[in-house]
Amino acid sequence: MLSPRIPPENPPSLPRRLPAWIASARPETAEDAAFLAGAGLSALQLVLAQPGVPLALVRDRRALGAAEASVIRAGRPERAADLRDEVHLLRLGDQTGPAGAVFALWRQAVAKPISVGALHAVLPEIAPTDIATWLDAGQGAPVARACAVFEAVTAAHPRAEDAALILADAVLAQAMGNKMIMPLLGAHLTVRDLRKSGADLRGAGYAAVRKAAAETLMLSQDLRERAVKLMAITPKLRAKRTAAAVDLFLTRDAVSPSLALTGPEVRMSDRAARRLCDRLVELKVVRELSGRDTFRLYGL
């Protein structure tokens, strides 16, 4: 359901991007790298705590970034637009290809609060007892703990890098006091990074988290502004089921009018769904994401 509270048009001033001293600094020591990563995460936490940030949408879009990074590491040709098509144009009863399955995996991982049961449902190949052990990985700074868990998972399951990254991001989120996964490490560690261990892996983790924090902070501020505009015009729209449709735009990276808006969550007619999307684009509160004349996808 839509939040009844629309955020103020002029919220407290928070940065749209990381300060240059965090984003552009070149750390000379491991301690510098750890400090800068922590500063980036702290700034991101402040932005994510703002009223009106569409957190589910931010997580879903970051899941797309993590999935794209995964298929790049695997040497596959698909990119974000291809992944969107595979998942958001999927009809009931059809199955995604390998790349779409990776996006679906990350979307499932970020959709529910972190728990042993939720993670085992997403990663059935990992025993619940092992997940519980890794989630309770002990003391230490968030990035260091997450990197240690990544090493432990890949040691036990050498071919399960996506699972290891999901669990590492889960541990990172928990260490920061968050209940949901926000893909950070999974979106920015490279193939070369994943072959590292110990201090070298932690160094790669610090760099990846700092980059991810900068990217996610900007994304969150942008989506927050777009969400404010969308919710402000919603009462003026006359189409039936508009509130349910808007709720999808506030939680999903992309929406297909002919599939998502006509489905059980919204139940619009195909014609009404297309007209609503065209109207939202005309009002400049929603964008057409595919660049096509048919099989279009829309999102904030």
pLDDT at 93: 77
What is the pTM for the complete model shown?
0.92
pLDDT at 235: 86
3-state secondary structure (DSSP) of residue 117:
helix
Q: Kindly report each contact of residues 288-296 with a partner whose C-beta sits within 8 Å and lies 24 or more positions away, as own/partner.
A: 289/81, 289/84, 289/254, 290/81, 290/84, 290/85, 295/85, 295/89, 295/256, 295/258, 296/256, 296/257
* CB half-sphere exposure, 25, CA atoms < 13 A: 18
pLDDT at 3: 44
Q: Which tokens is 33 given? A: 């790298």
pLDDT tens string 91-136: 877 889 999 999 999 999 999 999 999 999 999 999 999 999 999 8
pLDDT at 267: 87
Q: Which residues of the chain have pLDDT under 70?
A: 1-13, 138-139, 239
DSSP 249-294: HTT-S-B-TTTTTTSTTT---HHHHHHHHHHHHHTTSSEE-S--SS
